[in-house]
Amino acid sequence: MDPNHYRFRGVWRLAAPASVVYAALADVPSYPLWWPEIREVRRTGAETGDVVVRALLPYRLVISLAAHRRDPEAGVLEAVMRGDLNGWSRFTVTTGGPTGPGGTGGTGAAGGTGGAGCRVLFEEDTRPGNPLLRRLALPLHPLFRANHAVMMLRGRRGLAAHLAAGGDR
């Protein structure tokens, strides 16, 4: 196992239409409004920007994002990451969230209106670009993974509250 290679996968089930969730996730500059660990987003171009992240551990990451795939029909948002983390991340939003058939979240693209909500699959494949993070990878690998899990939990909660408060408008 390479302690400097991280693969994350998680599912968010949200009680909002897939198209609304997709639009909120596509609006990266608004992330600091609802995702506590996303401290700042700075646009650097039409499809690029820097994101400043700080979760529970006492360090901040600056990650340059470049949009790689935006496909509303398939519900896919994918970005290439460079900087303190190098790799890619992807959200795939499908219809049928909390009450999807068989608890699977249903099927269908972000443009669909079926189901009582949606399912968001998050995937990330990354390696630290920061030399200090690479050196600390072996002893702190479990803490880095736990830190990421907390960040994703708070992201789901923040997005759900943001959407419930009308943040999709």
Q: What is the pLDDT of residues 99-128, one digit of tens each?
A: 444 344 344 444 444 456 999 999 999 999
**pTM value?**
0.86
Range name among 5-19, 65-79, 107-121 with the lowest pLDDT average: 107-121
- Pairing type for strands 38-45 and 6-14 reads unpaired
CATH number of the domain at 69, please: 3.30.530.20
Report yes or no on 1 lying in a domain: no
Write out the two tokens for 24.
Answer: 């909120």
130-152 pLDDT, tens digit per residue, is: 998 899 888 888 999 999 999 99
Report yes or no on 60 lying in a domain: yes
- Hey, how many other C-beta atoms are within 10 angstroms of the C-beta on 29? 12
pLDDT at 104: 40
Report yes or no on 132 lying in a domain: yes
Report yes or no on 126 lying in a domain: yes
pLDDT exceeds 90 at position 129: yes
Interatomic CA distance for residues 62 and 82, integer angstroms: 9
Using 50, 70 and 90 to split pLDDT, how confident is the model at 66? very high
Contact in structure between 77 and 69 (CB atoms under 8 Å): yes
Report yes or no on 160 lying in a domain: yes
Structural domains counted in the chain: 1
